[in-house]
Amino acid sequence: MLELERLFKAVYLWLERIFNSLGIPHFWFDLFTMLLVALIVLGVMSFAAMFLVWWERKISAHFQQRFGPMRTGWHGWFQLPADGIKLILKEDTTPATADKPVFLIAPIVIFVASFLAFVCLPFGKGLIVRDLNIGILYILSVTTFTVVSILMAGWGSNNKYSVLGGFRSAAQIISYEVPLTLSVLGVVLLTQSLSMVKIVSAQEHVWSWNIWKQPLGFLIYLTAAVAEVNRTPFDIPEAEQELVAGYNIEYSGMKWAMFFFAEYTNLVLVCGVAATLFLGGWNGPILPSWIWFLVIWVVMWFRWTFPRVRVDQLMAFGWKFLLPLAFLNLILTGLLA
């Protein structure tokens, strides 16, 4: 296990000494370290999202016996920076009838929502921005901003299709938020704590992982999480083959890229939370947090295996099957634990 914690602590102390010797008030030092940490988290997030886009393209290609991107660099590793440059250079149009401030803010809100949630996600031992004692509650509440952003994007575009798409996505995300939260509650009941660090330290050994105590909870969480981040089999908001797009139909250039980017950071977040809650977090064997990518891979595997469900099937499954099952799981956990 890499001892990144020590490195960060050493850098922190070194910076503190420099600031003290220069006689700068401690407030500025705090602000500086906060900014630095925010930048590091942003960097890790962006890198993970960029890597995942490439990874998904390669994985999907190999599921279909294709190669995927091969021309830009070794096995197309430069494809994503190239696409990014293209998106930055592209014309960024705003519809004439759009509600301009709302239209402009929506992609920022969806990005900030996933960024904020990373505050409470432990990347490794001691590698957590702030260990809030309501950590998991904080993550669940902050990610709800995604719905607000999707509605803003749909409404701000002032286009009937994007409004419909926005409502469709909002309905889906809100419906699956309920079983998601209930499945998380099972873990919280077991650990008696909402803090992410405490949840991880409660599953020190492989056999004390929460997935063995909460197999049903894990499955419910994974299903609801896949629906939450709008991926196949629940990707009705996007539904490439049937609909053009949903809430983001009027977006182009970098604003569209923000939605795309947030989709992948949300994927990282959701899988990170899954690994933290059920799969021992940083206590994974060999390296910390490599299990994240295993979970992400499984979610991608879902995407390239299962066909999309219909809207009515989606709603019926969420409310009539997943929600009672989540309640059952919660009651059983309450009785047994």
Phi, psi of 209 (to 5 degrees): -60, 150
| Cα–Cα dist 268/143, whole Å | 13
310: how many CB neighbours lie within 10 A of its CB? 10
- Binding another protein by CB under 8 A: which of 8, 19, 63, 327? 63
Q: Which is nearer to another protein, 47 or 77 (CB)?
A: 77
Q: With contact defined as beta carbons under 8 Å apart, do 83 and 109 qualify?
A: no
Distance CA 246, CA 152 (A): 12
Q: Which of 20, 64, 192, 208 binds another protein (CB under 8 A)?
A: 64
Residue 306 interacting with another protein (CB under 8 A) = yes
The one among 133, 141, 208, 305 contacting another protein by CB under 8 A: 305
Q: Which three-class secondary structure state does DSSP give residue 175?
A: helix
Q: Which is nearer to another protein, 260 or 304 (CB)?
A: 304
Q: Looking at beta carbons only, is 269 or 325 nearer to another protein?
A: 325
* Min CB(66)–another protein separation in Å: 5
- Interface with another protein includes 61 (CB under 8 A)? yes
Smallest distance from the beta carbon of 53 to another protein, in angstroms?
18
> Shortest gap between Cβ of 230 and another protein (angstroms)?
20
We find the least distance from the C-beta atom of residue 304 to another protein, in angstroms, to be 6
Q: Does 77 bind another protein (CB under 8 A)?
A: no
Contact string 87-126 vs another protein (x = CB under 8 A): ----------------------------------------
In angstroms, rounded to a whole number, what is the distance separating the alpha carbons of residues 335 and 85?
A: 55
Backbone angles phi, psi at 124, to 5 degrees: -165, -175
| Nearest-angstrom CA–CA distance, 333 and 189 | 7
- Out of 6, 17, 62, 310, point to the residue binding another protein (CB under 8 A): 62
Min dist CB 146 to another protein, Å, is 27
* Rounded CA separation 285/184 (Å): 23
Binding of residue 67 to another protein (CB under 8 A): yes
In this structure, what token pair is assigned to residue 243? 């609909």
- Single out the segment in contact with another protein by CB under 8 A; choices: 116-124, 135-143, 209-217, 303-311: 303-311
Q: Which of positions 283-302 make contact with another protein (CB under 8 A)?
A: 301-302
End-to-end CA distance of the chain: 32
Residues near another protein (CB under 8 A), total = 14
What does the buried/exposed string (b/e) look like for 247-275 if buried means 16 or more CB atoms within 10 Å of the residue's CB? bbbbbeeebbbbbbbbbbbbbbbbbbbbb
Shortest distance, CB of residue 29 to another protein, whole angstroms? 49
49 residue type, one letter: A
Neighbour-count burial of 131, counting CB atoms closer than 10 A to its CB (0-12 exposed, 13-18 middle, 19+ buried): middle
Looking at 7, 10, 31, 70, which residue binds another protein (CB under 8 A)?
70
Q: Is 304 in the site for another protein (CB under 8 A)?
A: yes
Which residues contact another protein by CB under 8 A? 59, 61-67, 70, 301-302, 304-306
